[in-house]
Amino acid sequence: MTKNRTQQASGTTFRILVSLSAIHCMNDALQSVVSASYPIIKDDLFLSFGQIGIITLVYQLAASVFQPFVGLFFDKRPSPWSLPMGMTVTLTGLLFLGFASTFYGVVSSVSLIGIGSSTLHPEASRLTSLASGGKRGFAQSLFQVGGNLGSASGPLMAALLVAPYGRQHIGYFAILAFIAILVMMPVSLWYRKWLLYHIKKNEAGKSHLQAPLPLNKTVFSIGILLVLIFSKYAYMASLTSYYTFYLIEKFNVSVQHSQILLFVFLLATAIGTMIGGPVGDKTGRKYVIWASILGAAPFALLMPHANLLWTVVFSFLTGLMLSSAFPAILVYAQELLPYKLGLISGLFFGFAFGVAGIASAILGKMADSYGIESIYNACSYMLLLGLATWLLPDLKKTANR
């Protein structure tokens, strides 16, 4: 009887993990429609690269600054309805973005989309950990690969549904946001049952969970992980925000063609993400982080000097290597503070978004002043900060002592 119940619970939580991955996919598809539509918005409203950078900065800050606070708030006051509430805000922002007629209207719209994202990421990541059944790396990779597939499909949807017909068609993506809300409802009901069960069993406080390292080493390790996040996302900002412009200017491809090539890069990030978590479960997170960030550096350094074919190849390999880092970094951080899952998830998702936003604004100004190609020559050296991984303790060895 106990075995059947365990198998039944395992099947239920796996369905929850798949649902969370699908929700992440839809959310990040909607988020990436924003950046994929930058060339269209720029031409439609006669904006500069600097203004595109400001739009990205506002969006990324809205999607980052709130995340640690959202995570901390729901650590203390968990709610099963946080996910549908966040997606409703995203839905509203998409409707406004499709019909915004001014620069400030676009800024207001993307800020709403960012706030919706700042609710989804820490909360969905928390539920992913709760439903993991101990396989946290695999669960986080499954969750992240949904987001990466969404990020990859956003530019493709923009190329097929927005570029040929006009910016107003962005508003139709609100339908996808509504579908995401419907998928969230069974997850919210499962989480409500989970909360009621653990409150009754007096386990909600999580006081029995212990950090694997002393406080000073925990703080130091989190600092190193944030440095690694900085190096990864500062470089990724150059690709996600300006790769289409780079391809258009250097190789004279069309907007539609550039969006398809952006899809190729983002597809590689989805594949790499699925690899990083399970490998980290078996070999240790530290080794995955080593291979990911430093392994991508040679391809990033070569890309500015390549022709179109090799640019696509190097961008694919860079995305494949880099994307395996985030699941390993996030689960490593969650293992450092297992009783603050929401705070850690919000901090790392938020910091990643914030770094990307600030980097996008700086790179936009840099592109206006020195040309779009200059940012790829400069940003590739950021990945050498991956050497800081050497300073991280090996938690797998610590756990085995």
Residues counted in the chain:
401
Kindly state the percentage of the chain with pLDDT values over 90: 18
- Judge contact between 354 and 226, C-beta under 8 A: no
In a domain, 7, yes or no: no
In a domain, 360, yes or no: yes
Query: Does residue 6 come out as left (phi exceeding 0), alpha (psi in the -120 to 50 range) or beta?
Result: alpha
pLDDT of residue 150: 83
Per-residue exposure over 114-138, b if at least 16 CB sit within 10 Å of its own CB, e if not: bbbbbbbbbbbbbbbbbbbeeebbb
Neighbours of 48 (CB within 10 A): 14
In a domain, 208, yes or no: yes
pLDDT mean over 27-38: 81
* Six-digit token string for 114: 């960012």
In a domain, 295, yes or no: yes
**How far is CA 248 from its chain centroid?**
25
pLDDT mean over 299-327: 89
Residue 360 structural domain: 13-400
pTM above threshold 0.75: no
* Angstrom distance (rounded) from CA 15 to CA 323: 24
Kindly state the percentage of the chain with pLDDT values over 70: 92
In a domain, 156, yes or no: yes
- How confident is the model over 169-201, as pLDDT tens digits? 787 888 899 999 999 999 999 999 988 887 766
Per-residue exposure over 227-238, b if at least 16 CB sit within 10 Å of its own CB, e if not: ebbbbbbbbbbb
pLDDT mean over 247-255: 89
286 pLDDT higher than 90: no
In whole numbers, what is the pLDDT of the chain averaged over residues?
Answer: 82
In a domain, 392, yes or no: yes
- Judge contact between 171 and 305, C-beta under 8 A: no
pLDDT of residue 85: 92
pLDDT mean over 323-348: 83
345 pLDDT higher than 60: yes
pLDDT of residue 399: 52
Neighbours of 205 (CB within 10 A): 10
Could you please report the per-residue DSSP string of 379-400? HGGGGGGGGGGGGS--HHHHHH
73 pLDDT higher than 50: yes
1 pLDDT higher than 50: no
Listed in sequence order, the DSSP H helices in 131-214 are 136-157, 174-200
Q: How far is CA 38 from CA 110, 160, 240, 306, in A?
A: 12, 15, 11, 25
- How confident is the model over 5-23, as pLDDT tens digits? 444 445 558 899 999 999 9
Provide the domain count of the chain: 1
- How confident is the model over 85-142, as pLDDT tens digits? 999 999 998 888 878 888 999 999 999 998 898 889 889 988 998 888 778 888 888 8
Let me know if 208 is exposed, middle or buried by CB neighbors in 10 A (0-12, 13-18, 19+).
exposed
pLDDT of residue 180: 94
In a domain, 350, yes or no: yes
75: domain CATH number? Answer: 1.20.1250.20
In a domain, 189, yes or no: yes
